[in-house]
Amino acid sequence: MGTIGDVGEFGLIARLTRRLPQGPDVRLGPGDDAAVISAPDGRVVATTDLLVEGRHFRRDWSGPYDIGRKAAAQNLADVVAMGARPTALLVGFAAPPDTEAGWAERLYDGLADECRVAGASVAGGDVVGAPGITLAITALGDLGGAAPLTRSGARPGDVVAVRGRLGHAAAGLALLTGGRDGPAELIAAHRRPEPPYAAGEEARSHGATALLDVSDGLVQDLGHLAGASGVRIEIDSSAVPVPAILGPDGLLHALTGGEDHAFAGTFPPDAVLPSSWTVIGTAREGAGVRVDGREPPTGAWDHFPT
């Protein structure tokens, strides 16, 4: 199939474009200077993220298809966390010229398939040569006439609930770092998160006052919500879902591990939540996050560690 350098920029773009079926929100897809995407609401929810080889993924740990699924998922989850319906992705792809063209095609297969799960499409982007692989993803979404769900709406007395897996990706990363090959379920969770995309609509329909994507760790992300809302979040560790497969460090993984892209939100105290949501605490007057009344454990993701 040749390398990216053999195929050339325009040849590669043509091959990748053929792998990207378009959904109804994309009025004009790849092939022109820009895409045209419908915005029925009149407002567009937009988010962007970077994935850098060696920092956010390793090619000896993850194949191109899983990297594509992960890159799409983490951006689509941010759109859902605003209470919006994902509509489109724009993809910036930088790679060394000796990268196999087939590797790039599988990457785009992963991007496209994750978009299908969320009801979105890859609408376009750019391809450039670079010393290492970097993905720059922009995700767009539509609010459908509703107000966005933000981090700043929590009120004292609200309950705190989560939807989705916690700690699985972190446990999988620990296994890979330690040179282990199982449990396979945890390693798969690190390679390919599975955000519960229905969470945004569920949260809205049950009166959510605040919502966010758990990407950097439950405690750290709830700290962002607490700060934006001017409340203190009290977590009951016994209520945090910790399946046995997470092992002896399961609670630590669930509290501090990121990249599962679960969702955490606050709801009125009288809200009756579906069984897919687990109440883990309450919002109180004050500031910060406490676990069982104490300072929470550390270890969440830091993009600029010292």
CATH number at residue 222: 3.90.650.10
If we measure between CA atoms, which residue out of 196, 73, 189 comes closest to residue 139? 73
Give domain status of residue 223, yes or no.
Answer: yes
183 shares its domain with 138: no
Give domain status of residue 299, yes or no.
Answer: no
128 shares its domain with 13: yes
Is residue 48 annotated as involved in ligand binding?
yes
DSSP state of 244: G
The CATH number assigned to the domain holding 122 equals 3.30.1330.10
Total domains in the chain come to 2
Is residue 261 annotated as involved in ligand binding?
no
Identify the pLDDT of residue 306: 46
Q: How far apart are CA 4 and CA 250, in angstroms?
A: 42
136 shares its domain with 10: yes
115 within 8 A of 123, measured Cβ to Cβ: no
Q: How far apart are CA 43 and CA 206, in angstroms?
A: 23
**CA distance readout (Å), 164 to 79, 196, 239:** 16, 6, 14
118 shares its domain with 173: no
Residues of the chain with pLDDT under 70: 1, 10, 299-306
Token pair in block for residue 109: 């297969």
Instruction: Indicate the residue among 142, 177, 202 that finishes a domain.
Output: 142
Is residue 151 annotated as involved in ligand binding?
yes
Q: Which residue has the tokens 């460090």?
A: 249
Give domain status of residue 248, yes or no.
Answer: yes
Is residue 33 annotated as involved in ligand binding?
yes
What range defines the domain where residue 180 resides?
A: 159-291
Is residue 56 annotated as involved in ligand binding?
yes
Q: How far apart are CA 73 and CA 211, in angstroms?
A: 17
Q: What's the pLDDT tens digit per position in 277-291?
A: 999 999 999 999 999
Tally the C-alpha atoms within 13 A of residue 271's C-alpha that lie toward its C-beta: 25
Backbone dihedral angles phi then psi of residue 72, each to the nearest 5 degrees: -70, -45
Identify the pLDDT of residue 200: 97
**CA distance readout (Å), 264 to 102, 116, 154, 158, 260:** 37, 23, 11, 13, 12
Is residue 142 annotated as involved in ligand binding?
no
Q: How far apart are CA 283 and CA 235, in angstroms?
A: 9
- pTM value is 0.92
Is residue 125 annotated as involved in ligand binding?
yes
Is residue 126 annotated as involved in ligand binding?
yes
244 within 8 A of 62, measured Cβ to Cβ: no
23 shares its domain with 130: yes
